Amino acid sequence: MRWLSRARAVENTVVAGQMRSFFRGLSAETRKDPRLVAQAYGAHLFHRRRRRLVDEKRFAASRFHVGIGVASDDFADLTKRAVLVSDTLLLSHNGAGGRHHVRRLASSDSFIPRTEEEDRTGVLPTGTSTTEDLYMRCPDPERLGRWLLQTEPLLRAGCAWYLPTYAVSRHTERHGYAGEPIDPTYEHHSGPVTESDVPGLLDFAATGRRVVAQSHTPAVLSRLVIPVVEELELPFIDGVSLEEFSEITMGEFDGYRALRGWMRMELANVDSALDADGRQNELMKIGLRMQDGVRGMQAQMNQVRRKRAVAVTGAVVGTVTASLVAVYGPALQSALTAVVGGAAGGLWGAFQAGADNSPRTLRENAWYYVWTLSRKADRNP
């Protein structure tokens, strides 16, 4: 069953564990508001006591083959493209955008105890109150929340995740009396808001699309990602929504992995010394080979359908023949054999061939995955 294979599809166990925990904790009511989803995500990945990313050591030890920091508030196109060559895609706004409240971290009061006389006369307290709040920087929390919901299958499988940029603010208010002792006035003063950035897991560029990788990641990877993100024509994903892409990728996980390996090999073979025209020429050839792969898969699917159609006919003939023989006896069987010349057996053989060459046997093929995306793109208006 497809849902079972999707549940078993895991690329990065550390990321998948945190993402599945996050989505399990989302209520149906929260899912209705993308802003609340983004807020809940920010709260989930922040360790309240340590003031750090949760599971930071395990995150740092796991592999992130592609980490991209962007200022844009729309991750859709970038996600669909970069996932095609990355084991785990890590996206971040890298501090771009406004500051959005996530949760209250702590609050404390320190007031001078009042005397019985002050309590009786209603004298206001004197002292300080301090609050600490967690914020997350991003251009548009609503869009971020929609991205999280649309990519839920990818996140649950550890194929992608989002790294928030956190800040903790501290605010102190002082309450007390001022003025002449004979005519005091009660005042409260707000101190300046101090803000400290929580260290990020990776060092991203502040703007643009700079592809970065950790030290243990092959340096050639940047060369593989940039063409896919910025240069390669990929109509089979441009015509599908991010939600459709996520569902199909997880539903055809084996085919997706096969395509990812193929694309890495093809891009690695592009000579980095080529000039701009030579590079575009090589990328165009890759695009043409992908089109050939899709056409070949379409031909195979048509062949399988024809075989299965013949098989259904054979099964019906065989069933009717068996019923008639049961009624009229061996004499009819001999007559049918003479007239049909063993046609039923031939059709039954076609049925067996169709079963042996069903679409299930093709689903691990990279081009079945691309063909599925292309078919969905063609059906979309």
For every one of its 381 residues, what pLDDT tens digit does the chain have, with 9 covering 90 and above?
444 445 567 888 889 999 999 999 999 999 999 999 999 999 999 988 877 788 777 776 666 666 666 666 678 888 998 898 888 888 888 778 888 999 988 887 777 776 666 666 666 677 788 888 899 988 999 999 999 999 999 999 999 999 888 888 888 877 776 655 555 565 666 656 666 566 554 543 333 333 444 434 444 445 667 777 777 888 888 889 999 999 999 999 999 999 888 888 888 787 666 777 787 788 888 878 888 877 877 777 777 666 655 444 444 445 554 555 555 555 544 544 554 444 444 444 444 444 455 556 677 788 888 889 988 888 887
Which one, of 168, 185, 167, lies nearest residue 176 by Cα?
185
User: What is the structure's pLDDT at 317?
Assistant: 47
Token digits of residue 298 = 């379409």
Give the predicted TM-score (pTM) of the model. 0.73
What was the pLDDT predicted at 65? 61
Query: How buried is residue 208: exposed, middle or buried, by Cβ count under 10 Å (0-12/13-18/19+)?
Result: exposed
First to last CA, the chain: 29
pLDDT at 146: 96
CA distance 12 to 179: 64
By the 8 A CB rule, do 358 and 351 touch? no
Could you give phi then psi for residue 328, rounded to 5 degrees? -100, -5
